[in-house]
Structure 1
Amino acid sequence: MNKDLITQLPRVEQLFDHYAERFGKQQTAYRNHVYRLVNLVMAQRPLNNEELDKLQVAAFFHDAGIWLAGTFDYLQPSARLAEHYLQKEQLEDWNHDVHDMIMNHHKLSRFSTNPRELTEAFRRADWIDVSLGILRFGVPAARIRLIKHGFPNAGFHLLLLKLSGQQILSQPWRPLPMLKR
């Protein structure tokens, strides 16, 4: 297994540059989360160039609705933002795959019985990261540590706790609206 990490992706960097003001002080936390996801997907399976490009779009937009749409119920807004981006870039044929990754990354059960399917690998990567590596889905603990060391938390999980608490207080009947069965 290649120990090198992917630390720079042109499409991801372009998107972070474009939306820098919207993320404000939380940009590093979210940027590191995005790169942890990309590296965690690649720890599960190799990617061809097109899959890596699709992954960049999905990884950037998957939680972006928190900042770009101002909501903790962010799956649909994030998917719409990605769709708009894909239209602007004339990549509409990627919409199905990117949409599936965004809409299913918080799915509690498997998206696919094939763990090498891109949406399933993305779902697992997000759960690995959100669980701080408690869930591993076969990714070696040493690889997870390397990824976490390369892309420190920078307050991302604390932010998630804060947003979850605000959501519970404001809408206790919908404590985690992004979770799917």
Structure 2
Amino acid sequence: MNPVLEFPITDEILTDFALAIGTDLKGYRNHVYRVLNFYCAVSGIQGLPCDAVQIAAAFHDLGLWTDNTLDYLPPSIGLANHYLDTRQRSDLKEQVSALILEHHKVRPYRATHATTVEPFRQADLIDVSLGRVRFGLPRAFIKTVQSTFPDHGFHGMLIKRSARQFLRSPLRPLPMFRW
């Protein structure tokens, strides 16, 4: 199993937000690429995932930068919906919104669009856990994806932002998690 090296829809979106993401662009892009590769592997997909998954992947954490908040799910969904409206793809809004909203769900997702949302949730958790949580993926594949798309400080940035959030709101340290 070889990693997918290009996701054109995702790259187009990330290019549009390059200024907002700033110096974190390489790290975020590689996080998105790792998630998409883990998604394909968990789902058993050869090649590119559907447009909804590629679009949601690009937008899933964007509110971190555009709204400077760890409570980034609502702004990320808003950005994705605007993107879909401007491209006459409103038919994907429900699925893209579910993919973004539920990607930090603690328990398995079983509602509408579960066939895409649950593997996307798993893929993000594989990456955020640095491969400690694997959902059956071979360690060798995870390491290959990680070396193909290096971290570039992404996880360190998440830790710093999480620490700031904890100091500001100790009763709501990780507002993006859903039960």
Paired residue type of 1:72: L
Task: Kindly indicate whether the alpha-carbon contact (under 8 Å) linking 2:26 and 2:152 is maintained by their aligned counterparts in 1.
Answer: yes
Task: Kindly indicate whether the alpha-carbon contact (under 8 Å) linking 2:4 and 2:48 is maintained by their aligned counterparts in 1.
Answer: no
Find 1:94's aligned residue among 88, 92, 95: 92
Find 2:31's aligned residue among 25, 30, 33: 33
Q: Identity of aligned pairs, percent? A: 41
Q: Is 2:85 aligned against 1:84?
A: no
1:57 alignment counterpart: 55
Deviations 1:28-84 (A, max 9, x none): 000000000100000112449995211111000000000122211001110111111
Distance verdict in 2 for CA 1:146–1:49, change over 3 Å: closer
Distance verdict in 2 for CA 1:121–1:49, change over 3 Å: same
Whole-angstrom CA distance in 1 between matches of 2:164 and 2:152: 20
Whole-angstrom CA distance in 1 between matches of 2:28 and 2:50: 19
Runs (4 or more) in structure 1 with deviation over 4 Å come to 47-51
Query: Structure 1 stretches of 5 or more lacking a match?
Result: none
Quote the offset at 1:96 in angstroms.
1.0
Quote the offset at 1:135 in angstroms.
0.5
1:117 aligns to what SS in structure 2? helix
How many residue pairs end up in the alignment?
177
2:8 alignment counterpart: 10
1:147 alignment counterpart: 145
Quote the offset at 1:177 in angstroms.
0.3
RMSD over aligned Cα atoms = 1.7
* TM-score (norm. length: structure 2): 0.94
Whole-angstrom CA distance in 1 between matches of 2:30 and 2:48: 22
Paired residue type of 1:149: S
Task: Kindly indicate whether the alpha-carbon contact (under 8 Å) linking 2:40 and 2:49 is maintained by their aligned counterparts in 1.
Answer: no
* 1:151-166 matched pairs, under 5 angstroms: 151-166=149-164
Query: Structure 2 stretches of 5 or more lacking a match?
Result: none
